[in-house]
Structure 1
Amino acid sequence: MAFVAATFVRLCGYLQDPRLVANFQRLCGVEGTFSEKEETTTRLKGDPPKQPDQDREEYPRQRNPPRDPETKMEEREDQEDHRTRDVGNGSAGEPGGDGGGGDGDAARAKPLRRNSLTGDAGHEFIVRNRLLFYLFTFGTELGNEMFFIAFFPFLFWNVDALVGRRLIVVWAWNLFLGQSTKDLVRWSRPASPPVVKVEVFYNSEYSMPSTHAMTGTAIPFSLFLLSCGRWEYSFSFGLSVALAWSLLVCVSRVYMGMHSVLEVITGFLYSLLILAVLQPMLDAIDGFYATHPLAPLAIVLSHVGMGLLAFSLDSWSTSRGDTAQALGTGVGTALGTHVNHRLGLLTDPPLSALPLAVPAAGLGLVGRSLARFVLGVAVLLVCRMVMKAVTIPGLCRVFGIPAGDVRSARQHMRVELPYRYIVYSAVGFCCVSVVPFVFGMVNLA
């Protein structure tokens, strides 16, 4: 038993090693442009030189370690010198261009989005395989906010509202449990160097487990379980799509340098565990939201309570905002479900109509679906813009917090929690109740 435990610990240590991530990135054609000073500093902080016979030790990992301005300036100068040497040697071309030295596929790139907390834009890196770069960029977007903003409404308005409602429940619970677990475990992101930060937007969050891996597993598999038998399609096709979706998201997080292999595997397994518990309860939860007279009160109290619990675990980070956003969306969609049932809006097809046939994709269907999607998203964006413009200044005035710096103001729990809840509850409610009503007014229902 002791041998098994020791082997398991060694395996976890190996899977957590940032050098495993860096090796995978190099295999996929991603290379860093680290200065010698950065690499030396990382080793001095605890990483031993690479030796064939020496056991691997984990890089020390810090969450946004403070650096004085002089150190930052020296590092920036070293980086520029290092990059100049790279270009002079023909190892890579200018951003978006072809590299020299006989490698026509090499190009310099920077992370697509700044860090949401610090504003850091990240370092340049070299991409030698553009196909994998675009593939894994797409994969990581399958777990980002913008994808869900498009995916859930399209599912509600054009495919199956029942499946959409229940997926929101799965998504909210996965994010709540995943982000809360991050703040309890408090593991930082893989050390850089040696890892190349292809993405830096979430770099200020803790990393264990990977919530991208969790949502990227829970959503496709829950979608498969909810739609299989309800819609007419091949079981093997649905399972293959779910597996491919999950695998792409999970591997993309390692490629992006945001998670170790262990964190991704943990997120995958954690999500399956949550799904095993939650999936059999979705029918009862959806029925309660729709029909019970006390459902609105229970919905608000339960989701706000979960948010308060999550926000009390650690200092401000993007994970708290994401948690509140998911819970707020859950509140809005659940309340919208209750209102729809009371008013007889957006009713589900009767059981006698199941299984539903997949319609032929004609021009009329495609045009109608696109018209719904464009109009619906426009309504949601207007709702979000108006609610955001009203909520943040109003909350700052109520709590006496300066509203000039929005980023700083939103680091206060008293602003961030109600802001996320109010705005995204309104967006979720609009998506489920208001937009279908608008469709009826313009003959798109």
Structure 2
Amino acid sequence: MLRRLSYLQDSELVARFQRRCGLVLVEAARPDRGGPEPRGGPPEEGRPDPRDEKDPSEDQERTACGRPRYEVRNWPLHFLFLLSAGLGHEVFYITCLPCIHWSLDPFLCRRLVNMWTLVMYVGQVMKDVLKLPRPLSPPVVKLETRVDAEYGLPSTHAMAATAISFTVLLSAPSRIQFQFEVGLLIALTLSSLVCLSRLYTGMHSVLDVVCGALISAAILLLTYPYWEAFDRLQLTSRVSPVAALSLPLLLSYTYPAAARYSTTRGDTTTILGAGAGSSVGYWVNQQLGQTFEPRGRLPVPFPAMTAGALALGAARFLVGGAALLGTRQAAKTLSLRALYSWYGVPRSDGDARRRREIEVPYKFVTYTAVGLVNSILVNRVFVLLGIL
């Protein structure tokens, strides 16, 4: 069992997948740089691992370039996996996910944000508790650098993709008319593409990705029976907005301390803040009696993909995206200025925002504001502009 887990964690397995998809290290692609490529799988006992035999000139070239150079031999696959990897980044979360709220059903978006917040928090904490490394480079080509300082297991991209795809799939049948088999195929395709993209970009091992998907699926199965009860509590309880703000803020401040700085605490605070702001916003909408949910007998027909509907959807995307990005920038700037002034930190000190007393409140305030604007204000702006 341990040997099998070690095999799934092996960097060479990831590198082999990359090579088969047409992503090759320049050094590995040159015939004068040694013999054949090492085979996958863990080395046998008593046998030296070929990955340990490095040419000193390779190390010099790697140092000169900052990171190993690579060659792309299959551009369609390259762009497909980069696009799939982008489905787990902030730009996607802040622009595309709210479209479910604006153009489909706020109910589905609320369910989605709740599960996304829970799954991502569990995944981020597990990374910093387990402290398992990411794949080694070389032999792996790493296409992302921002999160390289984070630990590997589990893959939160795999967790988020699984949670998002299957939360919508499980919640949508009671709200919208569609073929469940088609929805299942779409959910499997999207989540699989995101999982494979983490191997292609060299950011996770096979074990990281498999564990991420399985942990997310387990959370969905364990919480599914309580989704309806949580909906009622979230929308009607008087303590709901207080709990929605105080609990995520507490979890952000008590996030496990790391021996080295990485983006996990900041990213987790971002997620918790967005979830908190959205939760309060949905509660406010319920109290005001204007939830912007589909009218008529549920499940309603799936919206027709006419030219007019697509134009309205594009208009909502542009207006809503501009509102959220503007809110993000304004809240980030104002909160950082206030915190820098409070702690007597010069604005030129870019590293100061890594300190917990600055990073946690500025990210939490920023993304709580984004969640509030998305859930309360954006649809009301659409009504004023006549594009809802």
Could you tell me the TM-score, scaled by structure 1's length? 0.78
Instruction: Give SS of 1:310's match.
Output: coil
1:78 aligns with 2:71: no
Kept in 2, the 8 Å contact 1:228–1:238? The answer is no
1:382 aligns with 2:375: no
- Distance 1:10-1:311 versus aligned 2 partners, 3 A rule: closer
In structure 1, the residue matched to 2:74 is: 129
Instruction: Give SS of 2:141's match.
Output: coil
Aligned to 1:268, which of 197, 210, 213? Answer: 213
Aligned to 2:3, which of 2, 6, 10? Answer: 10
In structure 1, the residue matched to 2:248 is: 303
Residues of 1 paired with 2:250 and 2:133: CA distance? 27
In structure 1, the residue matched to 2:360 is: 417
1:28 aligns with 2:40: no
Aligned to 2:346, which of 382, 402, 409? Answer: 402
Kept in 2, the 8 Å contact 1:163–1:227? The answer is yes
In structure 2, the residue matched to 1:174 is: 119
Kept in 1, the 8 Å contact 2:105–2:294? The answer is no
Deviation at 1:372, TM superposition (A): 1.5
Kept in 2, the 8 Å contact 1:34–1:193? The answer is no
Kept in 1, the 8 Å contact 2:143–2:202? The answer is yes
Residues of 1 paired with 2:5 and 2:49: CA distance? 12
Deviation at 1:400, TM superposition (A): 2.8
Deviation at 1:204, TM superposition (A): 1.1
Q: Percent identity?
A: 36
Deviation at 1:23, TM superposition (A): 1.0
Aligned to 1:225, which of 167, 170, 180? Answer: 170
Tell me which stretches of 4 or more aligned residues in structure 1 moved more than 4 Å: 50-60, 74-77
Instruction: Give SS of 2:133's match.
Output: coil
Instruction: Give SS of 1:360's match.
Output: coil
Residues of 1 paired with 2:103 and 2:138: CA distance? 45
In structure 2, the residue matched to 1:104 is: none
In structure 2, the residue matched to 1:65 is: none
Alignment of 1:255-334 (within 5 A): 255-312=200-257, 315-334=260-279
- For 1:163, give the aligned amino acid: L
Q: CA RMSD in A?
A: 2.6
Instruction: Give SS of 2:71's match.
Output: strand
Residues of 2 paired with 1:162 and 1:317: CA distance? 34
Gaps of 5+ in 1: 1-7, 41-49, 61-73, 84-119
Kept in 2, the 8 Å contact 1:180–1:313? The answer is no
- For 2:198, give the aligned amino acid: R
Query: When the two structures are aligned, how many residues end up with a matched partner?
Result: 373
Q: Deviations over 1:89-144 (max 9, x none)?
A: xxxxxxxxxxxxxxxxxxxxxxxxxxxxxxx7x44310111121111111111111
Residues 166-175 or 308-317, more deviating: 308-317
Q: Deviations over 1:15-38 (max 9, x none)?
A: 1111111111111111113599xx
Instruction: Give SS of 2:301's match.
Output: coil
Residues of 1 paired with 2:132 and 2:63: CA distance? 31
- Distance 1:283-1:402 versus aligned 2 partners, 3 A rule: farther
Aligned to 1:193, which of 138, 154, 162? Answer: 138
Deviation at 1:56, TM superposition (A): 8.3
Q: Deviations over 1:36-72 (max 9, x none)?
A: 9xxx9xxxxxxxxx97886687989xxxxxxxxxxxx
Q: Deviations over 1:208-245 (max 9, x none)?
A: 11001100111101111111242111111011111111
Instruction: Give SS of 1:317's match.
Output: coil
